[in-house]
Amino acid sequence: MNRNLKIFGLITVFLNIVYLIWLSQNTVGILGFSLFLAEALLASLTFLFMFNHWTQKKHHLVKINPQHEPKLDVFLTVVNEPLNIFEETLSAAIAIDYGNKTVYVLDDGSRDDIKDVAQKHGATYLSRPEKIHSKAGNLNYGMANSNGEFILVIDADQIAEPNIAKDLVGYFESDHKLAMVTTRQSFIVPDDDFNHDILFYEHMQPGKNADNSAISCGSGVIYRRSAIEHIEGFQTWNVVEDLYTTYILHSKNYTSYYVNKSYTRGTAPQDLSNIYKQRGTWALDTLRMFFRKSPFIKRGLSFRQRMHYIELSWA
């Protein structure tokens, strides 16, 4: 955090403490106690946020050695997205400036129009016979039918920048325990739209980055294949694959890195029903992990990593 944010945060924590002390002395009955408990839980988020994100690690750009381009598999996951949107995504993936790459279309919709578009652009089309474990299962099927040293995952509605591979693969050369490099998400919405998630991408992820706790954001992420193979593939236990796969990687002593720059640009839900569906899925995933695979007792995590994973579920 910068100096002004630290001052503002400390003032907020101080005022929360003063308020809770006053409230505790003016609480009457079960309803009053319920209010005090709710206020205390909300205030605890500010304490946890300041503790976790006081120090932030800003990314530095590491270009890949031009004489060494390890093989990269680009996985495009698609189910029922509109054909015109996906074709734009595929065209951008094909145009990624990286010679030693293979683009795979992982189609869980088994659609002939998607297959035709993939073949037209020279991509490898894969459609698994058994549609289980959602996106994680689709990614694992792609892994079983490819062999690149690194895997770049891009969602069907995300347009990738041409320099995404050359800008990100270089990070793996200096850290052999680095399992993934994740990036900031960017969406085609108004500048003041909440889908930009400024708090998360601008402040929380850099704080997590400082404690080797940066989490995958699902798209625009490069994984080291050997690390994913070591944990037996993308994790299928949870609702979505990105958070829990990162959780397991961290528990196995792998590192992650967050680049606070957007290399993909895509769509985001604008109507309330889809917004609540998306956010509800994220909330359900973190709560399942908190109660059934608790960071309090998960082996292999450092104390700071536990606090970051607790923060996600606590919020």
| CA–CA gap between residue 81 and residue 85 (Å, rounded) | 7
Is residue 185 within 8 A of residue 197, CB to CB? The reply is: yes
Structure tokens at 67: 């004489």
SS3 258: strand
SS3 content of the chain, % helix, strand, coil (to 5): 50, 15, 35
SS3 175: coil
Q: What is the tens place of the pLDDT at every residue in 41-91?
A: 999 999 999 999 999 998 888 877 767 899 999 999 999 899 999 999 999
pTM of the model: 0.93
Per DSSP, 200 falls in state I
* pLDDT score, position 66: 65
Structure tokens at 200: 């998360």
* pLDDT score, position 73: 98
Long-range contacts of residues 227-230, Cβ cutoff 8 Å, at least 24 apart: 227/179, 227/180, 227/254, 228/143, 228/151, 228/179, 229/143, 230/254
Q: For the chain, which ranges sit under pLDDT 50?
A: none
Q: Hey, what amino acid is at 85?
A: I
Number of Cβ within 10 Å of residue 116's Cβ equals 12
Is residue 1 within 8 A of residue 10, CB to CB? The reply is: no
Place of tokens 């206020």: 39
